[in-house]
Amino acid sequence: MKRLSLLLVLTFFVPFASQAQPAPGGSPAVGVVRAERQQITQTDEFIGRIHAVGRVALVARVTAFLEKREFVEGAEVKQGDLLYLLEQPPFKAQVDADVASVAQLEAQHLYAEQQLARGRILLASPAGQQQQVDQDVANERSLAAQVSAAVAQLQQAQINLAYTEIRAPIDGKITTTAVTEGNVVSPTSGTLATVVSQDPMYVIFPIASRSALELRERYAKKGFGAVVIRLRLLTGKLYGQEGHLDYVSPIVDQTTDTITLRGVIPNPLLPGMKAGAPGSRELADGEFVTVLLEGVQPIRVLTIPRAAVLSDQQGDYVLVVDAQNKAQERHIQLGQSTPSMAVVTSGLTEGELVISQGVQRTRPGEPVSPGPASPLPSTSPEGGPSGASGAPAIEPKPKQ
């Protein structure tokens, strides 16, 4: 009876004993990569806007009827092209009248010079009088001044006549006309049309003052030549031309704590397109673009996959595999990064094995089964990942 009771007790406790002490399982498999230095081109992204280098508002310089408009709205014009023709006959008549006035005064001045010469000859004889000579001198000088005034008035009339032809002051594309033929225009009529230059163009973009300090530390020794400007259009397409910086504002905007930078970038005609045709150039005045400020010379930095970086309240960290195949937590400082690659500035040593795959099932201090991580999918330059607006990005360079 005692043997039967002991058997029942053993039968009751065996299942619970087997559940409380399970057999230990295998170490989790993880994919690791070796932290190594690569050559990268540093690229900072900002939001900018395209501005025309030249912008001229056409206004009338004289009051007259507008007789002809000599341009096609929206077309490209060349410097010196006739754009508007104002009524000319009144101005030509004024020029003719001033020419006659100058001729008359010049004749009177010539006679006064002759009189003065004769008076000076007679002054040496008993018939000469000093008073008469003085009067001849005053008359000659008065007429000389009148001739100068008449010439100046003639020049003003000729200038006004020239103002009846409004010509293009620069090369560029012209807007619609604000005044049509038959209207009276004057200096108070406002802008008749605007000519906007097309090639090259400015790209103007603000950056945070902190970013400006970082750029200055990075490129101060080489100046503007240390970086090139590339653009990403609103469609996501990379613009085919490169530009360069030419201006940095000396003033920090107190409301936004930003500094304005300006670059110059070509805007040539597209192949097979005619100047002034719709879509003949890719950049337009006022267009929003993403500005890629790219370093000319690549640098060597310590890089790891971005997927290996974790974060907690203390900051960014990674899990590394030590010599005993155990995962160890390592806090790091990040530099410029992309969604696929992270630059480590401190906290990690070149050659260490970093867990980039399987980090979710890994705990610090526990053993792991490391293996080579699967390679990341490659991306094209135009469709590849990029940093957020205003955040820096990097592009790897092949080792030399």
Q: How do strand 36-52 and strand 201-208 relate by DSSP bridges?
A: antiparallel
pLDDT band, very low/low/confident/very high, at 388 (cuts 50, 70, 90): very low
- Is residue 289 located within the same domain as residue 348? no
Q: Which helix (H) or strand (E) holds 142?
A: helix 130-163
d(CA 162, CA 80): 13
- Is residue 285 located within the same domain as residue 205? yes
| 135 domain-assigned | yes
User: pLDDT at residue 90 above 90?
Assistant: yes
- Is residue 159 located within the same domain as residue 179? no
- Strands lying side by side in the sheet with 172-174: 55-58, 193-196, 172-174, 76-77
- Is residue 176 located within the same domain as residue 219? no
What CATH number is associated with residue 360? Answer: 2.40.420.20
| 15 domain-assigned | no
Picking from 295, 319, 337, the residue at the C-terminal end of a domain is 295
| 318 domain-assigned | yes
Picking from 179, 196, 213, the residue at the C-terminal end of a domain is 196
Question: Does residue 219 sit in helix, strand or coil?
Answer: helix
d(CA 201, CA 225): 18
Picking from 181, 196, 211, the residue at the C-terminal end of a domain is 196
Max CA pair span of the chain: 181
| Closest C-alpha to 347, from 323, 369, 328 | 328
Q: Which helix (H) or strand (E) holds 89?
A: helix 89-123
- Is residue 347 located within the same domain as residue 391? yes
| 1 domain-assigned | no
pLDDT in tens, 209-254: 888 888 887 777 777 778 899 999 999 899 999 999 989 999 999 8
- Is residue 386 located within the same domain as residue 254? no
- Strands lying side by side in the sheet with 64-69: 165-167, 82-86, 64-69, 184-185
- Is residue 209 located within the same domain as residue 333? no
Helix axes 130-163, 89-123, angle to 10 degrees: 160
User: pLDDT at residue 23 above 60?
Assistant: no
pLDDT at residue number 285:
93
| 149 domain-assigned | yes
User: pLDDT at residue 372 above 50?
Assistant: yes
Kindly tell me the burial class for residue 383, based on how many C-beta atoms sit within 10 Å of its own C-beta (0-12, 13-18, 19 or more). exposed
- Strand pairing partners for 315? 312
| 67 domain-assigned | yes
| The token pair that represents 144 in the structure block | 């000389």
What CATH number is associated with residue 239? Answer: 2.40.30.170
Q: How many domains does one find in the chain?
A: 4
pTM: 0.66
Mean of the pLDDT values across residues 358-382?
Answer: 74
> What is the domain extent for residue 61?
56-79+169-196
CA angle in degrees (0–180, nearest 5) for 215-221-222? 85
pLDDT at residue number 381:
41
pLDDT band, very low/low/confident/very high, at 123 (cuts 50, 70, 90): low
Q: What is the DSSP letter of 269?
A: P
| 362 domain-assigned | yes
d(CA 180, CA 84): 10
Mean of the pLDDT values across residues 9-23?
Answer: 36
- Is residue 257 located within the same domain as residue 319? no
- Is residue 234 located within the same domain as residue 280? yes
| 73 domain-assigned | yes
- Is residue 203 located within the same domain as residue 282? yes
- Is residue 281 located within the same domain as residue 202? yes
pLDDT in tens, 288-335: 999 998 877 777 788 888 888 888 888 899 899 988 888 888 898 887
- Is residue 60 located within the same domain as residue 192? yes
Residues 6+ apart with CB under 8 A from 383: 236
Instruction: Find the DSSP H helices in 180-299.
Output: 209-219
d(CA 22, CA 26): 13
What CATH number is associated with residue 107? Answer: 1.10.287
